[in-house]
Structure 1
Amino acid sequence: MNEFEKVSLSEQLSPTAVGKRLDQAIAELFPEYSRSRLKEWILAGAVQVDGHVVTKAREKVLGTELIEINAELPIEVEDQAEAIDLDIVYEDDDILVINKPAGLVVHPGAGNRQGTLLNALLHHCSELEHVPRAGIVHRLDKDTTGLMVVAKNLPAQTSLVAQLQDKTVTREYEAVINGTLAAGGKVDAPIGRHATKRTLMAVVQMGGKDAVTHYRVAERFRAHTRVRVRLETGRTHQIRVHMASLKYPLVGDFAYGGKVRPPKGASELLIDTLRGFTRQALHAAVLELEHPRTYEWMQFKADVPEDMINLSAVLRADVKEHGLDEY
């Protein structure tokens, strides 16, 4: 069965787009959609440039225009239900909160048509066939663990999406990073597609989307730091990109520079633990939101997973052996 998700996008072109075709310019502006899909929307009259509908994909842009897209995206949900265990933290008639394990992809995609969270949700609650994206309103990376909220009906989805857009949902993460932070702080740096590595994101000053991350020190080790991170926005790979931009990439996040960095004199146990940690050390630990129906303020917590607990314990033992001042 086909369901349709309403897509509403609004972004301003950057000066680097000057002279480019409209379809090319908006493909760079909205990389999460294929160029062919965007061209279809142009031809269908779903794209406005500075408030005017433009239906010619070849039309050249000046590089300063406001692009607005109001379209529908078909969602294939037929035959996608799969019996996959879910760690359910809370559930009622309107929302479902889960604790996602590492290795579980959220949405089906190229190379991951089955075995995703969406497939599991459709099996758990068949009514989600009638909700765009099976009620998923935000995502976690495949190897990030922790809390996600799912809308079980359209009114709940509308409310949760609005809360996310208004930045009233609290999302707090636990992470272990390479390097020793002196103090907490804030990163306010736009994020966009990496210029050459198209599967990665990067801090992009021209044409990136606003992204704000707050972080504070929870525990210092000799060459690593355990931090608590709070998101204001929810860009793809946001915490991973922002911490890497500060030269403090997450442990295990090899895509963003998180290579193994043991301190001097590290034990074999510590070296093996760092080498064996092959996912980004990131866990969505706290989720707070307003219930879509009752308007009650709700808080959910998920314990840090065993692999991150073990990582911190081994780093703590290293500090006990060497002290903090030897690195």
Structure 2
Amino acid sequence: MSQQVNLISLNAIVPDEHYDTRLDQSIARLFPEYSRSKLKEWILEGSVTINAQVVLTPRLKLKGGEEIVISAEQAVQVFNEAQEITLNIVYEDDDILVINKPANFVVHPGAGNPSGTILNALLSHYPAIEKIPRAGIVHRLDKDTTGLMVVAKTLSAQTSLVNQLQERIMGREYEAVVLGNMIAGGTVEANIGRHQTKRTLMDVRESGKPAVTHYRVKHKYRAHTHLRLKLETGRTHQIRVHMTYINHPIVGDIHYGGRPRLPKNASEEFITMLRGFKRQALHAIKLSLSHPTTGKVMTWEVPIPSDFEALLVEMKKDLALHDMPQQW
């Protein structure tokens, strides 16, 4: 069993019939799926706003018509069970396990994904990993991001890997396809924190944690750019947030990039490909670390998955169709 945190995001307009009703009583009627004690707790901790202003008084009388927003966290207990799920194991020894994660595969159990995760698969593959916090998982990839991630099989290995991440000496490189034409590589250095209103998403915020992403151009297409990226830090959704911040969101990223943007005069095949690419075109292609026991520097690299490769093929065809040379 482990504890997970669910992000709660609720909003409602206070009905006129709630005139002269206390705040805690009103939200109990508006959100009956949550206990009165929990709702009061959220008020007292500053997780409830009225017309965008934090309110800390449960007994505050309402007039009706106010906008109430609740942005809170709720701890839940998750019972993790071993499940026989195939893992694409790139490397394994007594200390670490390196996995090539496919798309549509969640790392940790949580709300909406109580099972069928990498953690469940690890408990089946190596039952002793249950003794390690979070089953040895020291960093994660988003559900629809593919590629390499490392797992610790011992406490000492976990300590070593966490230290390497914190000291920014673990090498993690990605490839992505982004919208628009990028002339040259560069670095995005912008703090990342929780989004003010969309609590399941992240955003560039001055009050956030430092985040640094380096990128270089691999290939230029007619309306897209193929990038190689390197993380200096490891914030949640970092690459996706940073690329959107510089106005080059990742292809297929509906949360940070919005609807697909279709190039002018594109072929039907290319349009179908772009509309049908239902995940962010982001792949963790390379991983480097110092082995927790031997200290030896180890590096792994895996090819981009077939759907990503098919996307690039269509982009090359689109270039040829408009008599434009591929650039890199």
> Which of the five TM-score ranges fits, normalised by the shorter chain?
0.7 to 0.9
Corresponding residue for residue 280 of structure 2? 280
* Structure 2 residue aligned with 1:21: none
1:100 corresponds in structure 2 to: 101
- Does 2:150 align with 1:171? no
Unaligned runs of 5+ in 1: 6-35, 40-57, 59-73
1:232-251 equivalent positions in 2, closer than 5 A: 232-251=232-251
| 2:23 aligned residue | none
CA distance in structure 2 between the aligned counterparts of 1:103 and 1:182, rounded to whole angstroms: 32
Q: Distance in 2 between matches of 1:108 and 1:196?
A: 24
User: Which residue of structure 2 aligns with residue 212 of structure 1?
Assistant: 212
Report the residue type matching 1:176 in the other structure.
V
Question: Aligned partners of 1:94, 1:146: CA distance in 2, in Å?
Answer: 20
* Match runs of 1:1-327 below 5 Å: 80-205=81-206, 207-324=207-324
Aligned-residue CA RMSD (Å): 2.0
Q: Aligned with 1:323: secondary structure?
A: coil
Contact 1:223–1:261, Cα closer than 8 Å, also in 2: no
Unpaired runs of 5+ residues, structure 2, are 5-37, 42-55, 57-74
Q: Is the 8 A contact 1:170 1:231 kept in 2?
A: yes
Q: TM-score, normalised by structure 2?
A: 0.75
Question: Residues 212 and 203 from structure 1, CA distance in 2 versus in 1: closer, same or farther, beyond 3 angstroms?
Answer: same
Do the aligned partners of residues 152 and 116 (structure 1) sit closer, same or farther apart at CA in structure 2, a change above 3 Å counting? same
How many Å separate the matches in 1 of 2:202 and 2:222? Answer: 29
Secondary structure of residue in 1 paired with 2:255? helix
What's the secondary structure of 1:254's corresponding residue? coil
Matched pairs, number: 258
Residue 323 (structure 1) shift = 3.4
| Contact residue 75 and residue 132 of structure 1 kept, 8 A | no
Distance 2:323 2:258 in 1: 23
Alpha-carbon shift at residue 258 of structure 1 (Å): 4.4
1:64 alignment counterpart: none
Cα distance per residue 1:252-287 (max 9 Å; x no partner): 001112431222110000000000001000000000
Partner letter of residue 226 of structure 1?
H
The amino acid that maps onto 2:168 is K
- Give the 3 Å change call, closer, same or farther, for CA 79–213 of structure 1 in structure 2: closer
Work out the CA distance in 1 between the residues paired with 2:160 and 2:77: 23
Letter in 1 for 2:307: D
Whether the aligned pair in 1 keeps the contact of 2:221 and 2:315 (CA below 8 Å) is yes
Counterparts of 1:297 and 1:133, CA distance in 2: 25
In 1, Cα distance between the equivalents of 2:319 and 2:292? 46
CA distances 1:74-133 after superposition (whole Å, capped 9, x unpaired): 996865100000000000000000000100000011111100110000000001010000
CA deviation after TM superposition for structure 1 residue 3, in Å: 7.1
CA separation in 2, counterparts of 1:210 and 1:118? 28
Q: Are residues 309 and 187 of structure 1, via their aligned partners in 2, closer, same or farther at CA, if it must alter by over 3 Å? A: same
CA distance in 1, matches of 2:124, 2:80: 10
**Structure 2 Cα separation of the partners of residues 195 and 116 of structure 1:** 29
In structure 2, the residue matched to 1:50 is none
Larger radius of gyration: 2
Q: Give the 3 Å change call, closer, same or farther, for CA 161–269 of structure 1 in structure 2.
A: same
CA distance in 2, matches of 1:273, 1:128: 40
Q: TM-score when scaled to structure 1?
A: 0.76
Question: Which stretch has the larger CA shift, 77-86 or 220-229?
Answer: 77-86
Q: Which runs of 4+ in 1 moved over 4 A?
A: 2-5, 74-79
